Amino acid sequence: SQTIHQWPATLVQPVGSPLSLECTVEGTSNPNLYWYRQAAGRGLQLLFYSVGIGQISSEVPQNLSASRPQDRQFILSSKKLLLSDSGFYLCAYPQGRSRGYTFGSGTRLTVV
């Protein structure tokens, strides 16, 4: 069966510190992968998507970057965090015929 893992679940980081969030998928090969950010109780903003190893498309200019070093691994990074980077970060991949997404459990990032 297909599963998606995100870690860490929560993170509190000072302004100016680096960031690395990891997402891994099991049970599928070469999936499209997506990073979303969600403000409290609101909709999802697409940050990055990847259709394969080493391929990254950015949707919103920002302080973040993404990488896909392996088929089933998607990493969200920042060299220097800003207060505005706080939020709930979600990784997702398509469910196939249902055309919907399966989401990871998310990472709550608070920049202080």
- Cβ atoms of 36 and 102 within 8 Å: the answer is no
Which residue among 19, 23, 64, 92 contacts other proteins (CB under 8 A)? 92
Distance CA 91, CA 16 (A): 23
Report if residue 49 touches other proteins, rule: CB under 8 A: yes
Report if residue 104 touches other proteins, rule: CB under 8 A: yes
Size of the site for other proteins (CB under 8 A): 25
Closest CB to other proteins among 6 and 15? 6
Tell me the C-alpha to C-alpha distance, in Å, between residue 78 and each of 17, 18, 41, 61, 83: 8, 5, 24, 13, 12
Closest CB to other proteins among 12 and 15? 12
